[in-house]
Structure 1
Amino acid sequence: MLDHDTAPTGDKTIETAEDLSSIAFGFMASKALFAGLHVDLFSALADGPKTAEDLAKAIGVPLNRIVMLTTALASVGLLTIGDDKKIENSPAAQNFLSKQSKYDFGDYLRYQIDQQMYPFLLQLNAVMKDDLSEDAIASYKHWMTDEEQASVYSESQHAGSLGPGRTLARKVDLAKATSLLDVGGGTGAMTISLCKEYPELHATIIDFPNVAEIGWRFISEAGLVDRVRYIPGNAVEVQWPGNQDAILMSYLMSGVPGDDVEGLLRKAYEALAPGGRLMVHDFMVEEDRRGPALAALWQLQHMAFTPEARSLSVGWLTEAGRKIGFAIDDVDALIPAMTKLVVFSKPA
């Protein structure tokens, strides 16, 4: 059953100055979150509430700064402050921002979102006017040639993709598949999840050389060196191995120039074995262009460093796939209100 989430998501328009201010000043809340991660505040609170004085000693930050930061974080719901003045993690902070948590993705927010994605938005005004400076980042290909930046991005993205990878493994049945091609697969977080779920699966990951070098460490740590290999290179340009039972493209189409998207679909069709399945996981907006907000904002973020990126929607993508010859097996949300999963199949 296809779930297109067709209910409008952007019908509420803002009416007051306060509503406008909450958008305009939203960056302050995100920076407060990042500052909390930077000093490991949420991990320091993982074992229970603390006074501001105890917290200041625990993380080595002056008391006045702890008071200011925790007040800000409490005001946006990331912390709670009790009547006894003790400070405590909110449930979301406890579950996802503490290094003691199984589901922690704080490093993804701290390194990739704060240190890389946040500054990229400073390019957005220039992108809109087609006025990027010569030294600006204008593509993933350009960006990933920098070894240091590739390392920061890849390591943090790995942390952010482990959860969605586990969800993907539950949503798509690959029990009969023995070969997987993960195109633009980064450090292999999703490949690792799929291989752990399906013991007969062997995988090939295509990604930039700097990324592949980092990814091999994660593959080794996962004990999958006999089942996973890398093809270092630009996924748009390198030759793909054929006769694949399954192909995965996660966050790939939103990060390449729009003219390359249909080419990726055609390459996938050619590389699949008859009856094979293509899984596309990405930020996708609704056909009415009203949202969801997180998907739309992420697409805008990608455009800040890939000016020719296209805005993906489920309707456009499925129609493009049908024209090439794919059947549509399923459409579902993978990360609620943010990403979609479209599963195509090549006729047997």
Structure 2
Amino acid sequence: MNFFRQNIQDMSPYVPGLQLNDPDIIKLNTNENPFPPSNTVLNAVREGVNTSLRLYPNPTSDTLRDTLAFTYSLKREQIIVGNGSDEVLAMIMRACVAPGDNVLLFYPTYSLYDVLAYANDATITEIELDESFNIPDKAFGVKARLCYLPNPNVPAGNYIDKQTIIRLAESIGGLLVIDEAYVDFAEQSCIDLVEKYNNIVVTRTFSKSFSLAGMRIGYAVAKPSVIAGVMKVKDSYNLDRISEIAATASIRDLAEIKKRCSYIKHVRDNTAQRLRSMNFHVLPSQTNFLFVKPPGVDAEYLYEALLNRKILVRFFNQCRVKEYLRITIGMQEDMDILISTLKELL
């Protein structure tokens, strides 16, 4: 007997990046931060491990919401917190899209979006990005209940300008969810658009710039009416006590976070220049990774060759992107080893 809905039977699951239990691997495949959580965060977590763990956490994570609101000049009612931004993206889908509703997605993009749409039995309109991985004109005539847009973009790493974002928000007729997972490595943000547009939602994560990928913390910012609607489908106690403590401490340690992001951006730009000097095609990046096309060799071959040398990058065996490798920016010494290894292999 098959217990699953037909759309679940037909869909493919999300496939995360490879996680190898090998301390000797230089891990450059899942865009984690090379820095550990700051001492401020670690101390806060240690203090939080006490007898209060027998109690449920605050159901709406109000301490974190208030800290985020103060930091980014928002109101608590404009913020919802989740178990990673992936849960926040799923809550928005669950609250806003009925079976058969149209969801606008772009290709290539973060593959979880497809999974969420298929699981919700939505109709998907997929539009391929142009040669520069930007939104083509034909997208602006599509009406959709919901559109997910990563910005900076994934997997290319480019930033889509605000005027294009505004044009899309004004044309689709539904919610535009701007996934800003990598925004702290970019030169600007779209969070200010939330004040001007009723149909814009901005999501963020603590996994990248805040070095808390292992704790799964994310949030969304929108008009209070949108947040109130999404709150109705939120799981009870969806963020645990320790995660809220860690995220709150991270926001309060923003100066250190910005310092680390500046370092990563410097290493990113230096690595991009070195790869270009080796005839790699390197796309412009405003993230903590580079999307590169190797010169004269197959990307999958180079991926395997690097893995054999204990350097793990990301290869996507999919149309259009299978010519590229995605390389997470690590510490400078990690990138030096990567470059020297590539010189030996090419």
Q: Normalising to structure 1: TM-score of the pair?
A: 0.32
Greater per-residue helix proportion: 1
Bigger radius of gyration among the two: 1
Structure with the bigger RCO (C-alpha within 8 Å, sep 6+) is 2
